[in-house]
Amino acid sequence: MKKLAVVGFVCLAFTALQGQERCAPPKVVKTTGTAEIKVTPDRAVVQVGVERQSATAKGAKAAADGISRKLLAALKAQGIEDKDVQTAYLDLQPTSYYEKHVRINNFTASQSLSVTIRDLSKLDAVMDAVMSAGANRIDGIEYQSSELRKYRDQARNEATKAAKEKAVALAQALGNEIGKTYSIEEVQQSEGYFSAGLAANKSVEYYDKRAPSTAPGQLTVTASVIVCFDLL
pLDDT in tens, 154-173: 999 999 999 999 999 999 99
The closest of 156, 180, 154, 157 to 167, measured between CA atoms, is 180
User: Residue 81 in 3-state DSSP?
Assistant: coil
Q: Determine the pLDDT at residue 212.
A: 62
Domain end marker among 99, 129, 144: 144
123 close to 201: Cβ distance less than 8 angstroms: no
39 contacts: CB under 8 Å, gap ≥ 6:
145, 147, 148, 151, 192, 218, 219, 220, 221
Give the domain CATH number at 183.
3.30.110.170
pLDDT of 25 over the 90 cut: no
The closest of 31, 48, 1 to 142, measured between CA atoms, is 48
Helix axes 57-77, 123-132, angle to 10 degrees: 150
How many distinct structural domains can be found in the chain? 2
**In the structure, what pLDDT confidence band is assigned to residue 23 with cuts at 50, 70 and 90?**
very low
Structural domain containing residue 119:
43-144
**In the structure, what pLDDT confidence band is assigned to residue 211 with cuts at 50, 70 and 90?**
low
Q: Determine the pLDDT at residue 197.
A: 34
Q: Determine the pLDDT at residue 98.
A: 78
Helix (H) or strand (E) run with residue 28 in it: strand 28-39
Q: Is the pTM of this model over 0.85?
A: no
Bigger pLDDT: 93 or 205? 93
Domain end marker among 112, 144, 176: 144
Q: For residue 185, is it within any domain?
A: yes
Do 140 and 162 share a domain, yes or no? no
Q: For residue 12, is it within any domain?
A: no
Average pLDDT of 209-222? 74
Q: For residue 17, is it within any domain?
A: no
Do 47 and 98 share a domain, yes or no? yes
pLDDT in tens, 125-150: 999 999 999 999 888 899 999 999 99
